[in-house]
């Protein structure tokens, strides 16, 4: 393992800002793994820490194939994480909306440019991002609809779902989209949580990356068997919204199979304790996303389900 600073900025009143990378193996730049880009992505940072520990052990026993190099960058916004801020602490800008970056631009543009210059040299990039809406997901792989040809490669992760997303204007400044534009096959792996560590889905994320690296010929170690992935369009997911505001008492978990009419959650009057509404499944399917917050607003997204 080789630890190195990918990019640094001198700090006036605190320690220098550094983006640190960990290299394993040597030779062809095979795969890069990116963890937390935002300051509240604790789960994503934790997963990368686990990966670094495992890859170091695999490298020591010679399980990284000859002429293969892996780079892991666990965190891009340590200033934000230190003060519990999701975005860049000085101007509240989102690093994952600055790619491919500008080395002469604003601070987050310079960070993005330096990271992108390094990462775009790899054949594959795996990112552990978080969704813009708080909530929990079934572990899955997501990629842009324009890269449908890579969907079969995404199946190598062995996660239950591969989701194809039609890129919007705002996606075109993300790391995933920018890498694909430069010829790197980029995949976003989502696990259940963001601000807290969920051991079960973190383990699923670690296993998915190791499974991909093994099946792509980068690792020679034995890995756990995964699921047979279902490839779905994001537009096929059914959004279910709350009809009332109040305290949300969820009755199901992500991954649960549901039938049409099943009660997914009850909305409780916050003052009087009475049930003032129910959120029901409009179709048979499986819970893909859950709001997972105690308070919900009227017409807020409560669940996404995959039709059976």
Domains of the chain: 2-233 (3.40.630.10), 237-307 (2.40.50.100)
SS (H, E, C) the chain: CEEEEEEEECCCCCCCEEEEEEEEEECEEEEEEEEECCCCCHHHHHHHHHHHHHHHHHHHCCCECCCEEEEEEEECCHHHHHCCCCCCCCCCCCHHHCCCCCCCCCHHHHHHHHHHHHHCCCCEEEECCCCCCCCEECCEEEEEHHHHHHHHHHHHHCCCEEEEECCCHHHHHCHHHHHHHCCCEEEEEECCCCCCCCHHHHHHHHHHHHHHHHHCCCECCCCCCCCCCEEEEHHHCEEEECCCCEEEEECCCCCCEECCCCEEEEEECCCCCCEEEEEECCCCEEEEEECCCCEECCCCEEEEEEEC
Tokens 């790619």 — which residue? 99
pLDDT of residue 148: 61
Tokens 């807290």 — which residue? 196
Buried-exposed string 220-235: b where 16+ CB fall within 10 A, e elsewhere: eeebeebeebeebeee
Check if the beta carbon of residue 275 is closer than 8 Å to that of residue 244.
Answer: no
pLDDT of residue 168: 85
- As given in the structure block, the two tokens for residue 154 are 């995404």
Check if the beta carbon of residue 209 is closer than 8 Å to that of residue 51.
Answer: yes
Low-confidence ranges of the chain (pLDDT < 70): 146-149
CA distance 82 to 75: 12
CA distance 190 to 130: 7
């Amino acid at each position: 393992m080789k630890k190195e600073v990918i990019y640094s900025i001198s700090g006036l009143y605190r320690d220098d800002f550094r983006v640190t990378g960990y290299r394993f193996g040597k030779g062809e730049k095979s795969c890069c793994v990116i963890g937390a880009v935002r300051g509240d992505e604790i789960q994503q940072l934790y997963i990368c820490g686990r990966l670094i520990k495992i890859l170091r052990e695999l490298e020591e026993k010679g399980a990284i194939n000859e002429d293969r190099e892996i780079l892991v960058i666990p965190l891009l916004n340590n200033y934000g994480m230190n003060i519990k801020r999701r975005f860049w602490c000085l101007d509240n800008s989102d690093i994952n909306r600055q790619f491919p970056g500008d080395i002469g631009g604003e601070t987050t543009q310079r960070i993005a440019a330096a990271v992108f210059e390094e990462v775009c040299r790899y054949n594959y990039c795996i990112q552990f991002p978080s969704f813009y809406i708080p909530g929990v997901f079934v572990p899955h792989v997501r990629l842009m609809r324009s890269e449908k040809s890579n969907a079969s490669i995404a199946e190598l992760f062995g996660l239950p779902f591969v989701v194809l997303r039609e890129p919007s204007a705002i996606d075109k400044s993300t790391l995933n989209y920018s890498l694909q534009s430069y010829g790197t096959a980029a995949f976003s792996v989502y696990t259940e949580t963001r601000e807290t560590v969920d051991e079960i889905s973190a383990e699923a994320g670690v296993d998915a990356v190791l499974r991909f690296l093994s099946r792509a010929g980068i690792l020679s170690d034995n890995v756990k068997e995964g699921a047979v992935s279902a490839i779905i369009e994001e537009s096929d997911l059914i959004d279910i919204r709350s009809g009332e505001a109040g305290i949300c008492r969820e009755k199901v978990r992500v991954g649960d199979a549901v039938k049409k009419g099943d009660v997914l959650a009850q909305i409780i009057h916050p003052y009087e304790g009475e049930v003032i509404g129910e959120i029901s499944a409009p179709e048979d399917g499986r819970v893909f996303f859950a709001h997972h917050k105690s308070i919900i607003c009227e017409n807020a997204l409560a669940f996404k389900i995959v039709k059976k």
